[in-house]
Amino acid sequence: MSAFVVIRDWLDERFGWAELIAPLKHKTVPLHRLSYWYFLGGITLFLFVLQVCTGILLLLYYRASANEAFESVQYISTKVQFGWLIRSIHSWSANLMILTAFAHMFSVLFLRSYRKPRELTWVTGAVLLFLSMGFGFSGYLLPWNTLAFFATKVGTDVAGQVPFIGHFIVVFLRGGEEVTGATLTRFFGFHVAVLPGITTLLLAIHVLLVQRFGISVPPSVEKQWIADPSARSEMKFFPNFMLREMMAWYIALGVLGVLAAMSPWGIGAKAEPFASAPAGIKPEWYFLFMFQTLKLLPSKIWFIDGELLGVLGFGLAGAVWVFLPFLEQPRWQWARVFIIGLGVFALAYMGSMTVYGFIAK
């Protein structure tokens, strides 16, 4: 008898393992020509788990103070065995996780998987994407290098444009009026405690909602299956689809390994708070479309500050995006076309402004 069987029987005897995994055995996944988009959610979850594991390893050596943060990252990258690899995997997987989260969100939108009764699945997913970007923003400062320091200064300055509570938000984020060691400590707390706690809770709700409502199919496939029930095709989630999912994780791990080994994440120069900001400073790619938009806006639009108008516009767009599924009502025939059109516009706008932001000086 293999060790796996012994462990399985031991668990089954004590916890009723067979009953616990019974829902997985009954769960099915629709099979059609667009089924491969279903892998994106699982890959995003896999990269999040990698983030947690590598983050815990980095915590063994990282020190969150302005006097020691940069040196501790330098120590991890040059002295700790495979420390450079763990750090590179952590940084690259963060970027890949945000990329796959964006891809997952747009695939859900264009497959119209947000429809009733999955509105809250969309809402929790959209908030999870914003939290992922929060991970990126808070983690960016932790190496305490020049680029991270000034990018944080610019980012928190933008937050200060929010009417009435802007100054409060800046002080709250920075732990004072300026970006200092207090900001680093605060961002460290956000990155390793606050955001992971909220994300884990929301992720559990998101997964439970997916389990509760099942996996949707595109409207065109749904119509075809209703007209011809014999065309309906499904696969058991466990173990059939799960094995395919694990192959997708394996491919993602391969891509991540190549990126981490061939292009190790740099350290840069230690932050000098009293030095001038380097020329052409830019945020991470997932904030670039917003950054470039704010740069292009004139200082005054009518009687309102251009940057303030931009911040308000992005805030409103984010709120509309979160509650997008609630627009699709049977009595609003225009809503479906509007939602898909908005998705196409958002994708085109974010893509073009990101490319423009990369090449602009």
At 169-178, the pLDDT tens digits run: 999 999 999 9
Tell me what pLDDT residue 277 has. 82
Mean pLDDT within 242-262: 96
Mean pLDDT within 207-212: 91
Mean pLDDT (the chain) is 92
Residue 301, token pair as written in the block: 């639009």
Is the per-residue pLDDT at 163 higher than 90?
no
Is the per-residue pLDDT at 2 higher than 80?
no
Is the per-residue pLDDT at 204 higher than 70?
yes
Tell me what pLDDT residue 247 has. 97
Task: Compute the radius of gyration of the chain from its Cα atoms.
Answer: 23
Mean pLDDT within 254-281: 90
Is the per-residue pLDDT at 82 higher than 90?
yes
pTM for this predicted structure: 0.92
Residue 198, token pair as written in the block: 């909220």
Residue 78, token pair as written in the block: 């040059």
Q: What percent of the chain has pLDDT over 90?
A: 77
Other residues' Cβ atoms within 10 Å of the Cβ of residue 240:
14
Is the per-residue pLDDT at 22 higher than 80?
no
Q: What percent of the chain has pLDDT over 70?
A: 100
Tell me what pLDDT residue 256 has. 97
